[in-house]
Every structure is written in structure tokens, then in C-alpha cells.
Amino acid sequence: MVRADLRNRSASANAGASINGAPAPASAGAVEADRVAPSAVGTSKVDTSKPERHRPALRRSHRRQARTALLYILPAFVFYGLFVAAPWLHSIWISFYDWDGIGPSTWVGLENYVAVLTEPLLQRALLNGLGFIVFYTVLPVGLGLVIAAVIAARQRRGAGILRTILFLPQILPLVAVGVIWRYLYGTDGPINQVLTGAGLGDLTRAWLGDFEWAYFAVGFVGTWVTTGLCTMLLLAGMQKIDPSLYEAARIDRAGAVRQFFHVTLPGLRPEIVIAVTVTIISALASFDVVYVTTGGGPGRTTTVPGVLIYQLVFTSNRVGVACALATVLSALILAIVAVVGRLGKERS
């Protein structure tokens, strides 16, 4: 009876609250249930024991992968350290000594570097190397842009053969290239024979023995070697440019010239930077072609740093000066390459 009376009172109280528009107060049991519900449902515990157990295994797997990658690249690092970095550092050390390569050496400080910057012969070699940038970089990149644009615009049969022919000089050893061009430039070589047959006999000359033309003749060989490389790099860059950019340019009534300067060239900045970097290094470090064709002559007209370093070591016994010249050349190459890379990043 008492329980029934309590239930009736609770029901009447709830009904009265509903009539007045206010929600009925929850019973004590309901309140207690609400207090318990969040801890039972809303804040249920998450089992984090499994990830904790897996973390050491993941770390061990990452360490194992890192060790495997290190084993793959370690031979390259060892080779580079033994045959590139160590000799280069040793060369820098020798550049501060007066040494003939056989007897005892004498510390001279910066005298060898002063000689590199003041002796006319050494200055001439550096200037000749810088001048080769025109033949190895400027002309090949310019010609490569034109040839690559023509090939990309006219994809016909024979394009693959043309690309192979253009890239062929990169496959040939530079010593072989020098021998071939020494024959072509010979007094009785094919070039003079063609000029004679065309009625231009007055233009024939000993190209590699002429003081005025020897430098240009050797430089043209560099142009022939690097043009194919630049063409292939730039052609690959053109093929990755989005065709919709050209379509938008045509909608804006842009002609072929405007498309080239506003679409093609901006899209080729990475490839141009690579081509310029590689060819500048080839120009300043040239040795094989010059040594085989002219040996640095006639006189000193084609002497470049690579040839002069060889002559200083093996004919003049000035090993310290040769090492100083090599160090200056390395610093010059690094500076130019850094500037080219910086300009490429800023414009991109």
C-alpha cells in the first residue's frame, strides 16, 4: 500500500509539472542513472595496450630499413671519399707548398695563389676556360631550345633517329671526339676539301694551327658535343608541360613566339638550370678535346686550366702552383654553379 501510494504521488507530480509547461523532474533513480551513464558510455576506456606493444617492433623495423639503405649507399660514399674528397683535400694542402713532386717541400703560404692571379700564363688559361662557356653553354642551350621546339612541334617519323644522332656525341669518349675532329680540321681534311670543292679555297687553312681560328675551332667541338645533351634535356621538359597552357594561350590569341616565351620558357626553368650547370662544368674542366687536338697551342691560344695543370705537374715540376690553380678552378666552378642554381630558384 505504501509503495502504491508513493507511485501515485510521483505520477500526480509529474502530471502537474507537465500541465504547467515545465518538464517533470527526474526521479531519484533516473538521476542516479544519468550520473552513472557518462562513465559507462561517454567515457568508455580505449585499449591502448596493442599500439604500445607494436611501437618497439616498428622502431626495430625502421632501424633495419635504415641500415639496409646505408649498406646500399656506403660503397658510393667510400669510393667518393677515397678517390674524390681525399685527393681534393690533399691537393688543397699541397697548394700551400713549393714542391717539385719528388724532393722535399717548402711552406710558401699563399704565394702559389698569388702566382695564379698574377702570372699572365695562368690568367690566360682561366680566361680561356671562361670563354669556353660561350661554346659549351650559351650556344648549345640556345640551339637546343630551337631544335627541341621543332622536334616537339613536328612529331613525325624519324624523330627518334634524329634524337639518337643528336645524342651520339655524348656516347663517344672525348678522346675519340678529339681524334675525329683533328682529322676533320686537318690541312687535307674533309672541311678544307669541301671548301675547295665549293669554290671557297681562299677560306681553307690549318684550322688547329691558326692563331686566329684555333680557339674557335676547338670551341666549336665543345658546341657539337653538348648541343645534343641540351636538346634532350629541353625536349623532355617540353613534353611535360601541360597542353592546356598552350590552349589557353591560343585562346588569348598568342602566337607561336609569345607561347614560346610565356609558356615554354617558364616551364623549362628546371631543365635549363640543369643544362647550364652541367655544361659550365664541362667548359671549365675541359681537357681531353683540347689536349688531343692542339695540346694548348698554337702558342698558348687554346691553353685551358686542365691542360695547364697537366703541364705544370709533368713538364714544369710546379706541383704546388698546379694544385693552387686546381683549387681556384674548383672554387670558381662552385661559385658559378651556386649562382646559377640560386637564380633558377628565385625565378621559379
Confirm whether 21 is domain-assigned.
no
What is the pLDDT confidence band of residue 156, given thresholds at 50, 70 and 90? low
Q: Collapse the DSSP code of 305 into the 3-class scheme (helix H, G, I; strand E, B; otherwise coil) and give the result.
A: helix
Confirm whether 230 is domain-assigned.
yes
Report, as an integer, the average pLDDT of 261-265.
88
Tell me the one-letter amino acid at 92.
I
Name the β-bridge partners of 106. 98
Q: Which three cell numbers stand for residue 7?
A: 507511485
State the pLDDT at residue 211: 94
pLDDT of 14 higher than 50: no
What is the pLDDT confidence band of residue 145, given thresholds at 50, 70 and 90? very high
State the pLDDT at residue 225: 95
CATH of the domain at 230: 1.10.3720.10
Q: What is the largest CA-CA distance in the chain?
A: 138
Asked if residue 149 and residue 64 are part of one domain, the reply reads no
Give me the domain span that covers residue 74.
Answer: 57-94
Domain count, the chain: 2
Confirm whether 241 is domain-assigned.
yes
Asked if residue 227 and residue 129 are part of one domain, the reply reads yes
Asked if residue 188 and residue 84 are part of one domain, the reply reads no
Q: Put residue 199 in one of left, alpha, beta given phi > 0 → left and psi -120 to 50 → alpha.
A: left
Asked if residue 135 and residue 230 are part of one domain, the reply reads yes
Report, as an integer, the average pLDDT of 141-156.
86
Asked if residue 210 and residue 90 are part of one domain, the reply reads no
Q: Collapse the DSSP code of 106 into the 3-class scheme (helix H, G, I; strand E, B; otherwise coil) and give the result.
A: strand
| All residues at 6 or more sequence positions from 172 whose CB lies less than 8 Å from its CB, including other chains | 180
Asked if residue 340 and residue 193 are part of one domain, the reply reads yes
Per-residue pLDDT tens over the stretch 277-289: 999 999 999 999 9
State the pLDDT at residue 53: 56
State the pLDDT at residue 68: 87
Asked if residue 306 and residue 169 are part of one domain, the reply reads yes
Asked if residue 162 and residue 68 are part of one domain, the reply reads no
- Cα distances (Å, whole numbers) of residue 174 to 129, 150, 179, 277, 293: 17, 28, 9, 19, 11
Confirm whether 111 is domain-assigned.
no
Per-residue pLDDT tens over the stretch 100-138: 989 999 999 999 999 999 999 999 999 999 999 999 999
Confirm whether 229 is domain-assigned.
yes
State the pLDDT at residue 110: 95
Asked if residue 234 and residue 86 are part of one domain, the reply reads no
Asked if residue 258 and residue 196 are part of one domain, the reply reads yes
State the pLDDT at residue 205: 93
Asked if residue 268 and residue 174 are part of one domain, the reply reads yes
Q: Which three cell numbers stand for residue 317?
A: 715540376
Backbone angles phi, psi at 50, to 5 degrees: -70, -50
Confirm whether 22 is domain-assigned.
no
Confirm whether 277 is domain-assigned.
yes
Asked if residue 150 and residue 216 are part of one domain, the reply reads yes
State the pLDDT at residue 60: 75
Name the β-bridge partners of 98. 106
Confirm whether 35 is domain-assigned.
no
